[in-house]
Amino acid sequence: MFFYRKQARQLENELDLKLVSFSKLCTSYSSSRDGRRGDTSDTTPLLNNSTQDRMFDTMSVEIEQLLAKLTAVNDKMAEYTSTPGTASLNAALMHTLQRHRDILQDYTHEFHKTKGNFLAIREREDLLGSVRKDIETYKSASGVNNRRTELFLKEHEHLRNSDRLMDDTISIAMATKENMTFQRGMLKSIQSRVNTLANRFPAINNLIQRINLRKRRDSLILGGVIGICTILLLLYAFH
C-alpha cells in the first residue's frame, strides 16, 4: 500500500505541474495571436500558431497519460483494500483512497475545462482571422479605399477588441473561481486530516484548542489597541 501511495503522490505532483503549464499555454494563446496580427508577414504567424498547436496536442497527450496512470494506481489501491488481512486498517485505507480519488477527479475536471476553453478560443480566433482575411482580400481585389470601408474596418476592429476583452475578463474570472474551488477542496482535505489526528490523539486536540484560544485573545488585544489608537488620533485631530 505504501508503494502505491508513493506512486500516487508522484503522479499527482507531475499532474499539478503539467496543468499549471497547460493553463498558461491556453491563457497566452489568444493574446499571442492578437499580437501577431500586426505583423504583415504571412509565414511567421503560421509557424508560431503551428508551434503552439503542437505544444497543446503534446501536453494534452501527456496529461491524459498521467491521468490514466493515476487512475490505474487508484484501482490497485482499491484492490489492496479488499484483500484479506486488511480489515483492521480498512477505515484508514479507505480514507486515503477516497482522498486520492477526489484529487484525481479535480485534476480531470480542470484538464477538460482548460482544454475546452482552449479549443473554443482557437475556433473563435480562426473565425475572426478568416473574416479579416476576406475583408483584406476584398479590399485588395476591388481597390476600395473610401471612407465607408475605413469606418467599417475600424468598427470591426473595435468590436473584435471588445469581444477579446470580454473573453479575457471571463477567462480570468473562471480561472480565479476554479483556483479558489481547488484551494477550498485542498483546505477541506487538510482540515479533515487535522480533525482525524485530533480525534485520535487528545493531546493534539487540546493543543489546537489552546492555539485557537490564544488567537482569539490576540485578536481581542489587537482590536483594543487599534480602537484606543483610533480614539487618540480623533482626539488629536479635533483638538
Q: Note the pLDDT of residue 83.
A: 67
Q: Note the pLDDT of residue 1.
A: 57
- Asked if the structure places residue 39 within a domain, the reply is no
Distance CA 1, CA 77 (A): 7
- Asked if the structure places residue 66 within a domain, the reply is yes
Q: How far is CA 31 from CA 153, 178, 197, 237, in A?
A: 20, 21, 47, 51
Q: Are 194 and 208 in contact (CB under 8 A)?
A: yes
Rounded to two decimals, what is the model's pTM?
0.46
- Asked if the structure places residue 105 within a domain, the reply is yes
Residue span of the structural domain in which 61 resides:
1-30+48-139
- Asked if the structure places residue 173 within a domain, the reply is no
Q: What is the dihedral of CA 80, 81, 87, 90, to 10 degrees?
A: 140
Q: Note the pLDDT of residue 47.
A: 39
Of 51, 25, 49, the closest CA to residue 36 belongs to 49
Per-residue pLDDT tens, the chain, 239 aa: give them.
567 778 888 888 888 898 888 888 877 765 555 555 545 444 444 435 667 778 888 888 998 998 898 888 888 888 877 766 555 556 677 777 788 888 888 888 988 888 888 888 778 877 777 777 767 766 665 555 567 777 778 887 888 887 788 788 778 878 887 888 888 888 778 877 777 766 666 666 677 778 888 888 888 898 888 888 888 888 877 76
User: Which DSSP string corresponds to 160-227?
Assistant: HHHHHHHHHHHHHHHHHHHHHHHHHHHHHHHHHHHHHHHHH-HHHHHHHHHHHHHHHHHHHHHHHHHH
Domains in the chain: how many in total?
A: 1
Q: Note the pLDDT of residue 41.
A: 46
Distance CA 122, CA 53 (A): 9
- Asked if the structure places residue 206 within a domain, the reply is no
Of 60, 62, 56, the closest CA to residue 28 belongs to 56
Distance CA 14, CA 64 (A): 12
Distance CA 2, CA 5 (A): 5
- Asked if the structure places residue 183 within a domain, the reply is no
Of 64, 48, 156, 174, the closest CA to residue 120 belongs to 174
- Asked if the structure places residue 15 within a domain, the reply is yes
- Asked if the structure places residue 122 within a domain, the reply is yes
Q: What is the pLDDT of residues 14-36, one digit of tens each?
A: 888 988 888 888 777 655 555 55
Of 133, 141, 115, 7, the closest CA to residue 62 belongs to 115
Q: Note the pLDDT of residue 79.
A: 80
Environment class of 117 (CB within 10 Å of its CB; exposed 0-12, middle 13-18, buried 19+): buried
Q: Note the pLDDT of residue 31.
A: 58
Q: Note the pLDDT of residue 42.
A: 45
